[in-house]
Every structure is written in structure tokens, then in C-alpha cells.
């Protein structure tokens, strides 16, 4: 295997200098057409492929951007990344991927690794464990763009793309009310996270706006899973004051709720059920599940746009933006009384 061709080989072949070759390859206007043509032909002949490492080392720009997410296995993140990669690829950027697996330690390590790889910036969604965000400060200090999405730290002055979780909760409750449900419960997580907290707040606001009573005992704090959904539904249905609709913290929990309700012969939409996330399965279960869609593609798109805007500015942190994505109510059988 012979060594790969460099611009030196092209230069030697044509009896010109490397700077001329470099300028030709980069389409400088100060190069004669003849030379340019000769250079490209020779490049092709020698099977020349540029070594971006070298130019990056020189220019300080790698056209590579780091993306840190909790896990690729979560469909939401996979779709966001799909979308980010599409947009950034078209702008000449590559994606260096790092999964934190919901561990701060990994996340810190991710930032370090990506920075050593000299990425031009980072797009990230924080791990659930993350509280101290000083590792992200490094980016800011280096004046490199940082865009946070979904799980963000509001105290950081960086661009963010988030869902309007308050509105998501509000819309879920409002939809149920409009369908005629009057006694609406909420099965959510005990986890301290503004996302879930804001949904509950939105839910409460909707109740108030529609002159419905807020019943704290109708808000079940547990986990988010099929099992937790079953548990929550069971507990709620045993109440004297039985709710006629349940909002579940996510679609898996909603699925658990539905399963339990079917067992109790209270299959939705008899008791209304709505979830959050619009997981793939939600459209296919019986009864199929109404849910709040988070528009993952749009989140990814906005992240990429925000990033491009920052990278294009010589002072990225002067063009910080906070994009809020609107939740979408997806109406299906489980709430169609």
C-alpha cells in the first residue's frame, strides 16, 4: 500500500509549488484557469484526498460538532439527532456522537473528549443526574457555541430549544375538558425536573380556567412506566371520588393505565386517557392513545439552526436564542367520548 498523495505530490508532478496547488484546490480566483485545471486533473490522477486534520490544525476549525444525548435508544433523541445531522451535513458539518447514559460523569467526560477533538461547538441534552453544569461553562469560556435542548439549564446563558411543557400540560387537560371529562387525574413522576413539574402546573391552570377543582389526591407521584401506570390507575379507581379521565406522564405510563382500566372494565374512552411523547406504539394500541406530540424533528431542526446562527457570528454568545416548541395534541380513541 503506497502512501496517500498530498499536495506536495501534486506540486512535484506539475513542477509548481504547494501554495499554488492549495489555492487551486480551494478555488482561489487568483489562479489561472490552466493551472487550476491541471491541478484538479493531477489530483484525480493521483487519487488525492485532502487531509482535513491538517487544515483544521492550521485554521482552528474542524467543521465537526459534538452532540451529547442521554441515549440513542430513546426514540425522541434518535429523531432529534436524525434531524440535526441532516441540517448540519448540508452546512458542511459532521457530527461526533456521545451518549451520557444518564450519567453526569459520562457527560463531563463527553465534553472533555469532544473538546479535545476540537469540535467547533456542542449540541446537548443533559442527563437526568446533571445538576452542576460547570462542565458546559468551558464551552462558553472558549466562546464555542453551545445549544441545549429539551433538558436544559436555564441559568446558563446558552441557546436553548425546549418544549412548552406548561402548555403541554394545559392542552392535555383542556382537551379532556372539551371532550366532556370533568374529574381529571394526573399520574406523573416524583422526579424533580422542571419538565414534569411544568406539565402539572399547566394541568392545574387549565382546571382553574375551567372552574374545576384541583384535587391533590388525584395527582399520583411515582415513576414513569407501564407498571407505574397500572399502579396509578388502580389507586385512582379505588377512590370514592373516582376520576373520569387520567393524564399520564408519558405514553408508557398511559399504556399501563389503559391496561389496568381494561381489566377493570373501564376501557377508554369511558375513562379518558392521554399521554405525552407520541411514541410509535401509541397509534397502534387498542384503544389507540391520544397524546401530546413533542415534535422531535422540529426540535432537531431548531437546534441546528440555532447552532448555525451562533457559529456564523464572531461572538456566538451575543446571538443566543431561546426557542420554544409548541406541543401538539394528537386526538385518538382514548379520549373520544
- Binding segment toward a copy of itself, per CB under 8 A, in 46-54, 150-158, 214-222, 324-332: 46-54
Q: Examine residue 56 and tell whether it contacts a copy of itself (CB under 8 A).
A: yes
Q: Which of 32, 71, 178, 336 binds a copy of itself (CB under 8 A)?
A: 71
Nearer to DNA, 58 or 238 (CB): 58
Angle at CA 277, nearest 5°, toward 271 and 280?
90
- Binding segment toward a copy of itself, per CB under 8 A, in 48-56, 128-136, 154-162, 208-216: 48-56
- Tell me the three cell numbers of residue 68: 451529547
Q: Examine residue 82 and tell whether it contacts a copy of itself (CB under 8 A).
A: yes
Q: How far is the CB of 103 from a copy of itself (least distance, A)?
A: 12
Q: What span, in angstroms and rounded, lies between the C-alpha atoms of 308 and 246?
A: 41
Q: What span, in angstroms and rounded, lies between the C-alpha atoms of 291 and 84?
A: 24
| Residue recorded with cell 442527563 | 127
Using alpha carbons, select from 169, 161, 98, 165 the residue that is nearest to residue 135: 98
Got the DSSP string for 76-141?
Answer: HHHHHHHHHHHHHHHTT-EEEEEE-TT-HHHHHHHHHHHHHTT-SEEEE---TT----HHHHHHHH
**Residues binding a copy of itself: what is the number (CB under 8 A)?**
47
199-258 binders of a copy of itself (CB under 8 A): 255
Q: What mask of x and - would describe binding to a copy of itself in positions 119 to 148, judged by CB under 8 A? A: ----------------------xxx-----
Q: How far is the CB of 50 from a copy of itself (least distance, A)?
A: 6
Q: Which of 94, 191, 201, 227 binds a copy of itself (CB under 8 A)?
A: 94
Beta bridge partners of 323: 161
Phi, psi of 228 (to 5 degrees): -65, -35
Q: Examine residue 62 and tell whether it contacts a copy of itself (CB under 8 A).
A: yes
Half-sphere exposure of residue 76, counting CA atoms within 13 Å on the CB side?
A: 19
Q: How far is the CB of 159 from a copy of itself (least distance, A)?
A: 19
Q: Which one of a copy of itself, DNA, none interacts with residue 98, CB within 5 to 8 A by kind?
A: a copy of itself
Instruction: Give the DSSP H or E segment for 258.
Output: helix 251-263
Q: Is residue 122 a contact partner of residue 67, using CB atoms and an 8 Å limit?
A: yes
Q: Examine residue 49 and tell whether it contacts a copy of itself (CB under 8 A).
A: yes
Q: What span, in angstroms and rounded, lies between the C-alpha atoms of 220 and 214?
A: 13
Q: How far is the CB of 255 from a copy of itself (least distance, A)?
A: 6
**What letter would DSSP give residue 276?**
E
Nearer to DNA, 49 or 286 (CB): 49
- Binding segment toward a copy of itself, per CB under 8 A, in 12-20, 108-116, 162-170, 240-248: 108-116
Q: Examine residue 8 and tell whether it contacts a copy of itself (CB under 8 A).
A: no
Q: What span, in angstroms and rounded, lies between the C-alpha atoms of 120 and 317?
A: 14
Distances (CA, A) of 179 to 144, 168, 274, 286: 48, 17, 12, 19
**What letter would DSSP give residue 63?**
-
**What letter would DSSP give residue 274?**
E
**Positions in the binding site for DNA (CB under 7 A):** 3-4, 6-8, 15-20, 22-23, 25-26, 29-32, 34-35, 50-51, 54-55, 57-60
Q: Tell me which residues touch a copy of itself (CB under 8 A).
A: 1, 4, 49-54, 56-57, 62, 64, 71-73, 75, 78-79, 81-82, 85-86, 89, 94-99, 101, 112-118, 141-143, 255, 279-281, 284-286
Amino acid at each position: 500500500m503506497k502512501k496517500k498523495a498530498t499536495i506536495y505530490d501534486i506540486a512535484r508532478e506539475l513542477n509548481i509549488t504547494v501554495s499554488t496547488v492549495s489555492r487551486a484546490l480551494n478555488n482561489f480566483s487568483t489562479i489561472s484557469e490552466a493551472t487550476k485545471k491541471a491541478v484538479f486533473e493531477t489530483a484525480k490522477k493521483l487519487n488525492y484526498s485532502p487531509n482535513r486534520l491538517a487544515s483544521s490544525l492550521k485554521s482552528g476549525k474542524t467543521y465537526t460538532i459534538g452532540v451529547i444525548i442521554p441515549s440513542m435508544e430513546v426514540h425522541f433523541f434518535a429523531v432529534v439527532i436524525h434531524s440535526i445531522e441532516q441540517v448540519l451535513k448540508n452546512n458542511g458539518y459532521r457530527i461526533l456522537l456521545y451518549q451520557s447514559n444518564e450519567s453526569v460523569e459520562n457527560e463531563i467526560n463527553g465534553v472533555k473528549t469532544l473538546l479535545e477533538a476540537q469540535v467547533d461547538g456542542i449540541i446537548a441534552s443533559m442527563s437526568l443526574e446533571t445538576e452542576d453544569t460547570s462542565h458546559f461553562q468551558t464551552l462558553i469560556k472558549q466562546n464555542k457555541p453551545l445549544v441545549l435542548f429539551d433538558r436544559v439549564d436555564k441559568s446558563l446563558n446558552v441557546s436553548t430549544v425546549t418544549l412548552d411543557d406548561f402548555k403541554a400540560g394545559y392542552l392535555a387537560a383542556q382537551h379532556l375538558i372539551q371532550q366532556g371529562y370533568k374529574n381529571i387525574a394526573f399520574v406523573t413522576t416524583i422526579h424533580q425536573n422542571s419538565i414534569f413539574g411544568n406539565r402539572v402546573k399547566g394541568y392545574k391552570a387549565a382546571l382553574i380556567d375551567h372552574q374545576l377543582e384541583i384535587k391533590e389526591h388525584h395527582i399520583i407521584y411515582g415513576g414513569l412506566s407501564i407498571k407505574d401506570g397500572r399502579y396509578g390507575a388502580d389507586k385512582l379507581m379505588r377512590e370514592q371520588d373516582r376520576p373520569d379521565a387520567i393524564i399520564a406522564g408519558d405514553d408508557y405510563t398511559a399504556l399501563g393505565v389503559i391496561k389496568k382500566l381494561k381489566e377493570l372494565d373501564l376501557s377508554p374512552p369511558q375513562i379518558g386517557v392521554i399521554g405525552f411523547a407520541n411514541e410509535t406504539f401509541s397509534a397502534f394500541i387498542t384503544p389507540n392513545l391520544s397524546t401530546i406530540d413533542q415534535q422531535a424533528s422540529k426540535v432537531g431542526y431548531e437546534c441546528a439552526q440555532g447552532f448555525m446562527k451562533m457559529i456564523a457570528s464572531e461572538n456566538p454568545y451575543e446571538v443566543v436564542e431561546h426557542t420554544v416548541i409548541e406541543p401538539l395534541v394528537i386526538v385518538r380513541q382514548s379520549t373520544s367520548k
